[in-house]
């Protein structure tokens, strides 16, 4: 009887935590969309909508009629937005949020390999858009779906290089006896910042990888200049041209949550630091200051990876998008990988004192 009560209590905690995490992703995702629109408007000399405008947009869409095109496959057309939203929210279960450990765990142990799982889960929202576009029966949506698939194929390679490089470096760091285990888990990565595991050459490599990840982010979010799958001025909205009502609202929420997800991944990989150890805080004050600092980091990342790029660069054609990711960005990511590899070789061969002497620091 006690075991049954414990199981029920555990299940209820998991359900409530998941709902709270979903609320966090949706609420702050919409807030960041409002901030993004406001900042971009000021950068273009406009006043822009109020910060609460995304909430108004979603609320209005949920009250609108949900129209299904005559040539659509209804059940696929209606299911795609839900799959995209659920898939995006599920990624939050594997992310350390504001100093808290990821929710997804097995008997208190973080699931091994969650970084690889996140790579697969990141495809679900894009695949949902593709499936929904094809299921709508619209020629504009079909063109948008084809462009989305080409974009996915383009940016997945440099993204995989970044994640594998970080995990490999921390894994080799563990092989040196410095205690970093389970390098493919975000918990291990956030507990052992990658910047502490590299020397001067590796530092250059990490900066290159960070730049590539910042440029990959707008493509993951289908933002200008990588929004060819939607391209309102060319194909009238592309993937979303036939969506309306609650289905369009769910895709809107998916985009908002995915913005928080991508920024959280960048924070976990490259900026996992907290302020509470610096001030010697513990318990609730530590949680509050770390969570606030986490939100600020996400905002800064969104401004640099979404807002500034969207305002500064015009939309690229689909062939230009594929070329950008397959050639320049992939090469930059590979150069970053090589720098980190050489850095590890130099560290093993010479050690810090010799490297410092060779670079003229000693």
- What pLDDT shows up at residue 176? 47
- What pLDDT shows up at residue 276? 82
| Mean pLDDT within 274-295 | 85
**Stronger pLDDT, 292 or 192, i.e. the higher one:** 292
pLDDT, tens digit, 9 for 90 and up, residues 288-301: 899 999 999 999 99
Report d(CA 216, CA 212) in Å as an integer. Answer: 6
Flag whether pLDDT at 352 surpasses 60: no
| Mean pLDDT within 301-317 | 90
- What pLDDT shows up at residue 361? 43
- What pLDDT shows up at residue 358? 47
Secondary structure string (H, E, C) spanning the chain = CHHHHHHHHHHHHHHHHHHHHHHHHHHHHHHHHHHHHHHHHHHCCCCCCCCCHHHHHHHHHHHCCCCCCCCCCHHHHHHHHHHHHHHHHHHHCCCCECCECCCCEECCEECCCHHHHHHHHCHHHHHHHHHHHHHCCCHHHHHHHHHHHHHHHHHHHHHHHHHHHHHHHHHHHHHHHHCCCCCCCHHHHHHCCHHHHCCHHHHHHHHHHHHHHHHHHHHHCCCCCCCCCCCHHHHCCHHHCCCCHHHHHHHHHHHHHHHHHHHHHHHHHHCCCCCHHHHCCCHHHHHHHHHHHHHHHHHHHHHHHHHHHHHHCCCCCHHHHHHHHHHHHHHHHHHHHHHHHHHHHHHHHCHHHHHHHHCCCC
**Stronger pLDDT, 192 or 60, i.e. the higher one:** 60
pLDDT, tens digit, 9 for 90 and up, residues 33-82: 999 999 999 998 899 899 999 999 999 999 998 888 888 889 999 999 99
Q: Which residues pair with 105 in a beta bridge?
A: 110
pLDDT band at 31 (very low <50, low <70, confident <90, very high): very high
Of the ranges 42-46, 238-242, 331-335, which one carries the lowest mean pLDDT score? 238-242
CA angle 263, 211, 347 (to 5 degrees): 110
Report d(CA 114, CA 30) in Å as an integer. Answer: 26
Share of the chain above pLDDT 70, in %: 88
| Mean pLDDT within 321-348 | 86
**Stronger pLDDT, 171 or 166, i.e. the higher one:** 166
- What pLDDT shows up at residue 356? 47
Of the ranges 38-47, 204-213, 237-246, 248-257, which one carries the lowest mean pLDDT score? 237-246
Phi, psi of 47 (to 5 degrees): -80, -45
Share of the chain above pLDDT 90, in %: 44
| Mean pLDDT within 350-355 | 50
pLDDT band at 359 (very low <50, low <70, confident <90, very high): very low
**Stronger pLDDT, 85 or 230, i.e. the higher one:** 85
- The chain-wide mean pLDDT, for the chain, equals 85
- What pLDDT shows up at residue 177? 47
**Stronger pLDDT, 106 or 322, i.e. the higher one:** 322
């Amino acid at each position: 009887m006690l075991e049954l009560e414990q199981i029920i209590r555990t299940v209820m905690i998991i359900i409530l935590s998941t709902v709270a995490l979903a609320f966090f992703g949706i609420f702050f995702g919409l807030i960041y969309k409002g901030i993004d629109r406001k900042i971009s408007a000021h950068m273009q000399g406009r006043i822009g909508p109020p910060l609460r405008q995304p909430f108004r947009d979603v609320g209005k869409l949920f009250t609108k009629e949900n129209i299904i095109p005559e040539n659509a496959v209804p059940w696929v057309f209606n299911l795609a937005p839900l799959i995209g939203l659920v898939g995006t929210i599920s990624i939050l279960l594997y992310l350390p949020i504001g100093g808290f450990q990821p929710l997804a765990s097995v008997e208190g142990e973080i699931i091994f390999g969650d970084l690889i799982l996140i790579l697969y889960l990141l495809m679900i929202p894009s695949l949902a858009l593709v499936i929904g576009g094809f299921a709508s029966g619209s020629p504009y949506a079909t063109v948008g779906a084809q462009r989305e698939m080409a974009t996915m194929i383009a940016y997945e390679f440099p993204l995989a290089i970044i994640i594998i490089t970080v995990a490999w470096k921390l894994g080799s760091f563990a092989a040196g006896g410095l205690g970093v285990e389970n390098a493919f888990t975000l918990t291990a990565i956030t507990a052992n910042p990658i910047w502490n595991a590299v020397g001067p050459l590796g530092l250059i490599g990490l900066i290159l990888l960070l730049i590539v990840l910042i440029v990959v982010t707008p493509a993951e979010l289908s933002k200008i200049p990588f929004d060819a799958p939607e391209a309102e001025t060319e194909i009238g909205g592309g993937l979303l041209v036939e969506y309306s009502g609650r289905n369009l609202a769910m895709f809107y929420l998916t985009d908002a949550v995915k913005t928080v997800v991508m920024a959280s991944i960048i924070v976990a990989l490259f900026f996992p630091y907290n302020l509470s150890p610096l001030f010697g805080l513990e318990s609730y004050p530590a949680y509050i200051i770390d969570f606030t600092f986490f939100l600020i980091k996400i905002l800064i990342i969104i401004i640099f990876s979404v807002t500034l790029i969207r305002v500064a660069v015009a939309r690229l054609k689909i062939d230009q998008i594929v070329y950008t990711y397959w050639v320049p960005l992939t090469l930059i990511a590979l150069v970053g990988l090589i720098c980190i590899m050489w850095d590890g070789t130099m560290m093993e061969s010479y050690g810090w004192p010799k490297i410092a002497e060779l670079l003229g620091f000693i």
